[in-house]
Amino acid sequence: MPSFLLEVGTEELPADFVAGAIHQWRLRIPQSLQEHSLSASSIDVYGTPRRLAIVIQGLPDKQPDREEEIKGPPAQAAFKDGQPTKAATGFARKQGVALEALEIRATDKGDFVFIQQSFPGRPTAELLTELVPQWITGLEGKRLMRWGDGDLRFARPLVWLITLLDDAVLSVELENGSKTLKSDRFSLGHRVLSPGKVIVTHPNNYVDILQRAFVEVNPQQRQNKIQEQIQAAAQKVNGSTPIYPDLLTEVTNLVEFPSAVVGNFDEEFLNLPAEVITTVMVTQQRYFPVFKSNNFEELLPYFITISNGDPAKSDIIAAGNARVIRARLADGQFFYKTDLSRPLESYLPQLETVTFQEELGSVRDKVARVSKVAELICAQLQLPKDNSNLIQRAALLCKADLVTQIVYEFPELQGVMGQKYALASGEPEAVATAIFEHYLPRSASDRLPRTITGQVVGLADRLDTLVSIFGLGMIPTGSSDPFALRRAANAIINITWSANLQINLQRLLEQVATDFVAAHPTQLNLLHQLQEFFLQRLRSQLQEEMIDYDLVNAVVGDNDSDYKIRALQDLLDVRDRAFFLQSIRNNGELEKVYDTVNRSTRLAAQGDLNTTELHPQLINQALFQKSSEQAFYDALVQLEPKTIAARASRDYQQLITALAEIAPKVSSFFDGADSVLVMDSDPEIRRNRLNLLGLLRNHARVLADFGAIVKN
Amino acid sequence: MNFQSVIAVLHQFWGDLGCLIAQPYDIEKGAGTKNPHTFLRALGPEPWAVAYVEPCRRPTDGRYGENPNRFQYYYQYQVLIKPSPDNIQEIYLDSLRALEIRPEDHDVRFVEDNWEDATVGAWGTGWEVWLDGMEITQFTYFQQCGGIDCRPVSIEITYGLERLAMYLQEVEAITKIQWTDNIAYGDVHLQGEIEQCTYNFEASNPELLFTLFNLYEQEAQQLADRGLVLPTLDYVLKCSHTFNLLDARGVIAVTERTRYIARIRSLARKIAQLYVQQRETLGFPLLNVKGGVEANV
């Protein structure tokens, strides 16, 4: 069973392209082989910064032969009196067979002419020669490039190509302008540890041969080695290093032969905020920081870099890197000192020079809008004056650190530095904390703001962004959401929920949208767009909380504007109703009322009772013909105070218990000896009965739209 | 190795390989890329190989000489070769050997870093080269320039001369670099650095600069209308530098910013188109010149 090796040698590939290419090939190569009826016992994909490779083992020598039956014209048309007609000769000619090869076979639709064609399988070598260029040029990447004078596109220039089928070179050529890259069996080893060509004798030896040339082609092996080396290096200086998954992945694809090198820096730099030091290390230098112990709080004056150089030269490499980190930290110290020389507030005017968005002006303009929105939220929450003053102060200062030197250098430290500078400037603790917290959550798994100042400023900042960007018509579509508006809306919902903030989002959207339209007239129905967007986010957030899809519809309203508005007016209530519905579905209580309420809800739709009416006074008792009607009515009279109490206290258990109690009465209204025909021929009686049902529906509606709930 | 030796070694190295050793262009600019030896020559089908030192001015980067690693005026060593040769990385590593940096003794890495300059409608892909964690060089394969696809593709190599010299001399501040064995970089440039920062951040007259921007733009426009490529480029460079000076003063409103950049970009595109037309009219005279870098590497 032959083995095959493809190695594509390149100039240094971007780290994320290596990872992406390996992923694509792992998916596509098996498919591609299958499409060509080539089986394989194993397919391995490898990659380093300078090469991508595939080793396929257990290939057949050729595709299996294939027999195919080709259907021709009906027998009647093909032969007249035993003689072939034009239809028969035409078919035979087209298929390239003699007339004798035609056979007549019976089918469901009568007798037809057939021929049996056999296709011999093509040799694997021939197929691979065709497939290899497609595999290479089919790789996708963020930014592909051209080089030299050709039109070939790849992540970086291609340098060499190996295509070996067992010990023979398969001839593959890639043209690029005036140059042609011809495949051979020569690879290159590690740049400095194994200069010169490396001969690959057989695909099965590929990994070992490259290992001897100081290249670990298997990315998983490389990553494991790096991880072990980091831990060992940290232990050597009595420290420990947390896992930085993104950094680890990137570093794995920046080296072919990893060796961890430990360096140190002056302890005086430990006076810098830890976040500044780790950002310099991780983001700028791709170093791993070393902490004193496993709680990863106190830094040690060491760093670990994963070198691609000769391990014997580790001392030189460590010394060089130490000089770089010293210069970087000295820069950081310089920036930090300069930043601290002025109070945070003094940076505000400079925010006028930072663009938030072309048409929305500067960050200073944004801050002014955020302050205004924060004021609206404070008013809704009826916060005491002290609180709202702190919130106003935090809103004013929340972006001031953007123009400090440290944040200019390390944008990911926004908020973190703002908090520190606020404290250093003598701002109240609550203001400083809010400056940091208003960015929370920074990702789906991040924590939420804990203080009311942080929560309100965070909500205000996001509301402003959402309304303004929507107002310019830049609404997220599909995967395109450059302002991360979906995440912003999710954050608004989650902050409100986690802090149990009694805010009326509907009113806030109305107010903020009105202000926006006054400043930027638009043809859009802005409010409507925002409502629909938030409802969509609300649905997805509820589903993430494991609420069943139909129950989400029942509380958010499946095309029912009453529920939509109600949900936006009270995010806490809609959450509580959803959780409650889910709990009574799980404990079986929902089932007890489901049939009667759902049936009433569906029938009541034929009536014209206002969906908010709860009062049984509108029922005309004189029209009752059966005792079940009176019983139904009496039950509704008893239900009313309970529903009203449940709505006020949001104790929906009270409502569901009451509904369960009257369910038997409604059942005898529908079925059994005492039942009535709702759709009576007398319009007055019919209306009266529909109103009874309508009232029951309305009581249930205080909890949810039962029409949207699917029977278990 | 002192500062002027670094330059001399690079001149010798790239000159021996067949590069034209050119001189800096005499108008203020933010990067060696804007020198016509790169910005224009990267366009069109004619081969080209050049190396030169380029003084750069980036007013907003100024720190009055107080930051050990950051000056608003500094030098780049720029190489441009078209079409990009197959073994350019090996050639580059040889240039480090010429500077007495043996890649075998260090951790040298090519780390992805792509480049884009919106003001001249140019972008490319490439790397920053790390020497034991320090960025010493920028590599860029030009994909587009002045909004025009580069065919063939040029490779641009930009050495940060101060970084290299600091590394070689093991000094911790730009001012401490030995320019010759007796004169330090600070002796040559520190006073100028302080004065230029004072000018950029405090003493410039924004009103005058706004007026100049408009005048330079008008001039560039009328020169472009006459098809005068280089004079137009000169005035676009003046526009660009004036914009940078205004930026350093923080007087360009954010809503205006993109408009200024768009004004510069549209002129840059015009120049690129004019240049390619001009070369075509001349019959692309360098197409048949033998003996560029290709012949030597």
A409-444 pLDDT per residue, tens: 888 999 999 999 999 999 999 999 999 999 999 988
Residue A313 to residue B152, Cβ atoms within 8 A: no
Q: What is the CA radius of gyration of chain B?
A: 20
CATH number at residue B91: 3.30.930.10
Contact indicator for A378, A456 with CB cutoff of 8 Å:
yes
Where a domain ends, among B136, B165, B200?
A: B200
Amino acid at A309: G
Statement to judge: residues B53 and B99 lie in one domain? yes
The whole-angstrom distance between residue B132's C-alpha and the CA centroid of its chain comes to 24
pLDDT value at residue A497: 97
Statement to judge: residues B237 and B255 lie in one domain? yes
Q: Which residues in chain B (96-125) have CB-CB distances under 8 A to chain A?
A: 103-112, 114, 124-125
Does a structural domain hold residue B79?
yes
A639: part of which helix (H) or strand (E)? helix A627-649
For B290, residues 6+ apart whose C-beta sits below 8 A from its C-beta are none
Nearest to B172 among A14, A146, A327 (CB): A327
Chain A's closest residue to B174, CA to CA, is A327
> CA dist A601 to A145, A500, A614, A636, Å?
63, 32, 14, 15
Strands B20-21 and B48-57: parallel
Cα B231 from Cα A373, distance rounded (Å): 52
Nearest to A358 among B108, B125, B258 (CB): B258
Q: Which two tokens stand for residue A530?
A: 């925002």
Query: Residue B160 above 50 pLDDT?
Result: yes
Instruction: Give the pLDDT mean for A54-63.
Output: 96
Statement to judge: residues B222 and B273 lie in one domain? yes
Question: Which of B29-33, B116-120, B278-282, B289-293 is the least confident region?
Answer: B289-293
Where a domain ends, among B162, B185, B200?
A: B200
A576-603 pLDDT per residue, tens: 999 999 999 999 999 999 999 999 999 9
Statement to judge: residues B94 and B227 lie in one domain? no
Contacts of B152 in chain A (CB under 8 A): 148-150, 177
Where a domain ends, among B185, B200, B215?
A: B200
Instruction: Give the model's confidence band at B294: pLDDT under 50 very low, under 70 low, under 90 confident, else very high.
Output: low
Q: What is the CA radius of gyration of chain A?
A: 37
A460-504 pLDDT per residue, tens: 999 999 999 999 988 888 777 888 899 999 999 999 999 999 999
Statement to judge: residues B231 and B178 lie in one domain? no
The domain limits of chain A are 4-62+123-212, 66-119, 219-340, 363-396+413-574, 588-708
pLDDT value at residue A481: 84
To the nearest whole Å, the CA of A317 is away from the closest chain B CA by 5
Average pLDDT score, chain A: 94
Statement to judge: residues B159 and B213 lie in one domain? no
- How many structural domains compose chain B? 2
Statement to judge: residues B134 and B223 lie in one domain? no
pLDDT value at residue B297: 46
To the nearest whole Å, the CA of A225 is away from the closest chain B CA by 18
Statement to judge: residues B155 and B211 lie in one domain? no
Q: Which two tokens stand for residue A363?
A: 């960050």
In DSSP terms, B82 is beta-bridged to B48
For B103, residues 6+ apart whose C-beta sits below 8 A from its C-beta are A191, A192, B93, B96, B97
Query: Residue A358 above 80 pLDDT?
Result: no
The dihedrals phi and psi of A398, each to the nearest 5 degrees, come to -65, -25
Cα B140 from Cα B250, distance rounded (Å): 31
**Residue reference for tokens 């909500």:** A459
For A393, residues 6+ apart whose C-beta sits below 8 A from its C-beta are A427, A428, A431
pLDDT value at residue A560: 84
pLDDT value at residue B257: 79
Contacts of B103 in chain A (CB under 8 A): 191-192
The dihedrals phi and psi of B179, each to the nearest 5 degrees, come to -75, -50
Contacts of B83 in chain A (CB under 8 A): 147-149, 177
Statement to judge: residues B27 and B128 lie in one domain? yes
Instruction: Give the model's confidence band at A118: pLDDT under 50 very low, under 70 low, under 90 confident, else very high.
Output: confident
Chain A's closest residue to B84, CA to CA, is A148
Phi-psi region of B148 (alpha: psi -120 to 50; beta: other; left: phi over 0): beta
pLDDT value at residue B295: 46
pLDDT value at residue B118: 84
Query: Residue A97 above 70 pLDDT?
Result: yes
Nearest to B104 among A310, A326, A356 (CB): A310
Total Cβ atoms within 10 A of residue A619: 20
To the nearest whole Å, the CA of B271 is away from the closest chain A CA by 23
Query: Residue A688 above 90 pLDDT?
Result: yes
Contacts of A317 in chain B (CB under 8 A): 106-107, 132
B166-213 pLDDT per residue, tens: 999 999 899 999 999 999 999 999 999 999 999 999 999 999 999 999
For B211, residues 6+ apart whose C-beta sits below 8 A from its C-beta are none
Statement to judge: residues B164 and B220 lie in one domain? no
B40 touches chain A (CB under 8 A): no
- A275-307 burial, b at 16+ Cβ within 10 Å, e below that, comes to ebbbbbbbebbbbbbbbeeeebeebbbbbbbbb
CATH number at residue B257: 1.20.58.180
Q: Which domain does B228 fall in, by range? A: 205-286
Residue B152 to residue A353, Cβ atoms within 8 A: no
Does a structural domain hold residue B112?
yes
Residue A352 to residue B253, Cβ atoms within 8 A: yes
Q: Which fold has domain A588-708?
A: Isoleucyl-tRNA Synthetase; Domain 1 (1.10.730)
B40-62 pLDDT per residue, tens: 999 999 999 999 999 999 999 99
Helix (H, G, I), strand (E, B) or coil at A150: coil
* Peptide bond before residue A84 is cis, with ω within 30 degrees of 0: no
Does a structural domain hold residue B295?
no
Does a structural domain hold residue B296?
no
Instruction: Give the model's confidence band at B254: pLDDT under 50 very low, under 70 low, under 90 confident, else very high.
Output: low
Statement to judge: residues B87 and B15 lie in one domain? yes
Residue A147 to residue B132, Cβ atoms within 8 A: no
Does a structural domain hold residue B46?
yes
Statement to judge: residues B53 and B166 lie in one domain? yes
B16-39 pLDDT per residue, tens: 999 999 999 999 999 999 999 999
Residue A146 to residue B141, Cβ atoms within 8 A: yes
Instruction: Give the pLDDT mean for A680-685.
Output: 91
ipTM of the complex: 0.94
Residue B66 to residue A146, Cβ atoms within 8 A: no
Residue A12 to residue B103, Cβ atoms within 8 A: no
B132 touches chain A (CB under 8 A): yes
Residue A313 to residue B111, Cβ atoms within 8 A: no
